[in-house]
A and B are shown apart, each in its own frame.
Chain A
């Protein structure tokens, strides 16, 4: 467990047994999260896993059925207003006022919280290539999202909570966004962002928590996760392949051989695999694709679900 290494850091977000039921329907159950100050924490899970429910609960939009949470040491319900002075937030499925311009929107929220440096807003708009003079209702999804991003960053909050913040943003802007996130972390501020794709968070996050079916399955450092991250690997060889050769390598699963074509799931050391293969065969072609989060779950966590989370 890598998470207890730095016990001196204060918790930016801490939840204890956080549980939310919507009537009989489970939202989240017994979520124990500890996000440290100054880190970038990725909150990963497939659609409907409970990411937004967790975020909305700690933001006091909805109230937990059981458990409690603190943000920056403050109780998320009792000190909700004080907490909001220190956070920036992008809700999932962002909605803004369609009849306001981007600038109007920012001014509206700036007036409510104060402490906004307008030069910084201009800089952010510049970096994200956002036209703030247009009405939000006339903007495309991505351009609307930019207004949401600026709104969350503009007052330099101590903690940024972002629910799938890059949805709709093009790759260039996504990269700029990731830079902005890294800068926030470099200043010692905290970022908590949710996503359903690992690749999106692994570039910026220090650690990730994985949630599935309302339960926090694991919290790991990105480097640990990457080492076990599953890939789909395909080889086209110069000779007929033997299953046993591939199964001898650690981390190889589900080998399917068809003549000189072989496919497998792989979650080990890529160098070792390549060495083993090239020792025996000539490689005509190689293709690897990142396994999606769901596959990582299936491979590493599914079997453990009955006995509790693995970490």
Chain B
């Protein structure tokens, strides 16, 4: 029964990720509702109409609607689409890269059959996860005494399902057509992240509204389904898009050569393939990328850092300044009138000032997120990655100590954290200078320093988990989960007195807690973050030294 095998195996491969996502989002919903219950929501009704529609809050906003919107509309949707994306990109391209596709297709089943089994598993997983997300909503609301009967919860979850399927199939289709898992993951992530943020801030600009309609994310919550119910037209577009992607996947997968475990040719390889350039590069770099563990590690992650840095520099740094300058005066005035609590809810920046704008848009989520992405991937890949690929065996047969291996993995992680922090600083500085927003360059540097440090804390956590367990999944899920939890804890803490007292517990409170973009460097905060990172890195050395190396991935 190949169907049962391919289907069930594909569906069960990632159950842990789904379970973690569902449990986390449900917990976030519980925390969110509990927090919003404490604040006076009458402030919303006094908000200008334009602003309310902008942040997706209807006229008759209530605690339940706000919590569900924030938790499902952002966290839940990103988590779901992200998992769908991961599953979609491994479906075809991932099996090719692992070299397991050959044996799968040695069975008397067609490529189309395998692809449809994989798609079926993907859609079923998303459907099950959606239902699992939906079920706890009512008990959570009931247990907190929050009224949600007037909300179109089912409409939102249906939109969530369609959105996740779309991004899952996008990744699956790119993987099926190209056989390149990196491309499938990278392109889909880029489209997802850009469209998520595009839908968020393009409406702030004149004519931006029209542009959002080309972004897939618009069809997820552009119609505010939790208030307005199902938008069948939007669902049809997402569904139709998914079907087209599936067709493209079937055609593309059937027509091309299967890839073995081949690694393909990178741009670097093509450059090295040219004898003149190769000699030049050889003279410049020697055989740098294999001359030591730390240089090889640097080389392994250079494209990740390059892409992340470029995005931070251009989109989140340079472009944000002119974008701020282009927001109409009236909209800015609206921001000025916002109650403090509401501002805190969106990350704590006062949008009427450029500092507030950059705090919210760039430094609030994306900037630490970018450092966390790079450091967590490197921290998790550093030791656990070599173990799961079994390359650690030869490394450990060399006359170098385990401590030195950890050290040579830590150095590139720290270096790249600094690189991402620095390009963010450079991007924001340039972005603020183009329209001359009058921001303090020193304060930007201070904020970027704290950003680097807070990112390093979670990268170091990933490293410690990686060193202690040898499992990349635990390192990645554990550290990203912790980062999301503390980030949410931090933003909700500002709204909830009970949580506020515990604010010192979250690393993020040492990041923007003292508003470095306005107040400059807080060395105490920096010291706390640095100490946390040092402790976790120190722990990594101890844990890796003591442990049995795993033989299998």
Contacts and interface: CB of A to CB of B under 8 A. Distances in A.
Interface in B267-291: 287, 289-291
Contacts of A113: 398-399
B548 A63 contact: yes
B292 interface: yes
A104 B549 contact: no
A195 B261 CA distance: 27
B396 A82 contact: no
A99 interface: yes
B551 A108 contact: no
B106 interface: no
Nearest to A138: B262
B396 A60 contact: yes
B287 A95 contact: no
Given A95-B389, A104-B287, A112 B263 contact: no
B387 to A, nearest CB: 10
B173 to A, nearest CB: 24
A96 B391 CA distance: 6
Contacts of A62: 548-549
B263 A109 contact: no
A47 to B, nearest CB: 14
Given A108-B296, A113-B399, A137-B262, A91 B393 contact: yes
Given A52-B551, A96-B391, A98-B261, A108 B290 contact: yes
A242 interface: no
A302 interface: no
B394 A56 contact: no
Contacts of A261: none
B393 A61 contact: yes
A156 to B, nearest CB: 14
Nearest to B553: A95
Contact of B390 (A59, A91, A105): A91
Interface in B410-434: none
Given A84-B398, A104-B290, A95 B551 contact: no
B46 interface: no
B263 A99 contact: yes
Contacts of B266: 99
B334 interface: no
A77 to B, nearest CB: 11
A56 B263 contact: no
Count class of interface residues, chain A = 35 or more
B110 interface: no
Contacts of A111: 290-292
Interface residues of B, number: 27
B437 interface: no
A89 B394 contact: yes
Which residue among B262, B291, B293, B393 has the maximum number of chain A CB atoms within 10 Å of its CB? B393
A228 B395 CA distance: 41
B396 A95 contact: no
Which residue among B262, B390, B548 has the maximum number of chain A CB atoms within 10 Å of its CB? B548
B1 interface: no
A109 B390 contact: no
Given A62-B549, A107-B287, A96 B399 contact: no
B400 interface: yes
Contact of B401 (A63, A80, A108, A109): A80
B135 interface: no
A227 to B, nearest CB: 36
B103 interface: no
A61 B290 contact: no
Contacts of A105: 290
A56 B290 CA distance: 25
Interface in B223-275: 260-263, 266
B399 A104 contact: no
Interface in A221-238: none
B4 interface: no
A95 B263 contact: no
A61 B391 CA distance: 12
B397 interface: yes
A100 interface: yes
A87 interface: yes
Contact of A138 (B263, B393, B398, B551): B263
A97 interface: yes
A109 B400 contact: no
Nearest to B403: A81
Contacts of A88: 397
B397 A84 contact: yes
Interface string A131-153: 00001011000000000100100
Contacts of B291: 107-108, 111
Contacts of B261: 98, 137
B432 to A, nearest CB: 39
A253 interface: no
B399 A85 contact: yes
Interface string A61-88: 1110000000000000000111011011
Contacts of B390: 91, 93-95
A151 B394 contact: yes
Interface in A32-69: 52, 56, 59-63
Nearest to B291: A111
B398 A95 contact: no
Given A61-B548, A96-B391, 4 more contacts: A91-B394, A98-B261, A104-B289, A107-B291
20 contacts: A52-B551, A56-B551, A61-B549, A62-B548, A81-B401, A82-B399, A84-B396, A91-B394, A95-B394, A98-B263, A104-B290, A105-B290, A109-B394, A111-B292, A112-B293, A112-B395, A112-B399, A137-B262, A138-B262, A151-B394
Instruction: Identify the 4 closest CB pairs spanning chains A and B, nearest first.
Output: A95-B390, A137-B263, A89-B397, A91-B393
